[in-house]
A = this chain, B = another copy of it.
Amino acid sequence: MAKSIFYHAGCPVCVSAEQDIINLIGESNVEVVHLGDDQTRITEAEKAGIKSVPALVTPNGNVLHINYGASLEDVKG
C-alpha cells in the first residue's frame, strides 16, 4: 500500500492525533512530517490542499483535516 502522509506542527492536538493515526493505520504506512521543523515542506502541504494541521493525505491524494490544531498560515509564522 502506498504511504499516507501525516502533516503536523508539534501542537498538543497534533501529537494526540498522530498517535491515534499511527495506531489505526500502522507506523509503516504513514510518513510523519513536522512542518515546524521542516518548513521546506510547507509548499508541498499547500499544494496537497492542506489548510490546517494536523492533516492526513491519503495514498490517493485526498486530504483529511483531523480536529484542529493550527492553520497552515500560523505554521508559516
A72 lies within 8 A of chain B by Cβ: no
Specify which of B4, B16, B65, B67 is in contact with A24 (CB 8 Å cutoff).
B4
Task: State in angstroms the CA–CA spacing of A63 and B68 once bound together.
Answer: 12
Closest to A30 in B: B24
Q: Within A33-75, which residues are at the interface with B (CB < 8 Å)?
A: 58-60, 62-68
* Chain A interface size, under 10 / 10 to 19 / 20 to 34 / 35 or more: 10 to 19
In contact, A25 and B23 (Cβ under 8 angstroms): no
- Give complex CA distance A62, B63 in Å: 20
Contact residues in B for A25 (Cβ distance below 8 Å): 24-25
A interface, CB within 8 angstroms of B: 4, 16-17, 20-21, 23-25, 29, 58-60, 62-68
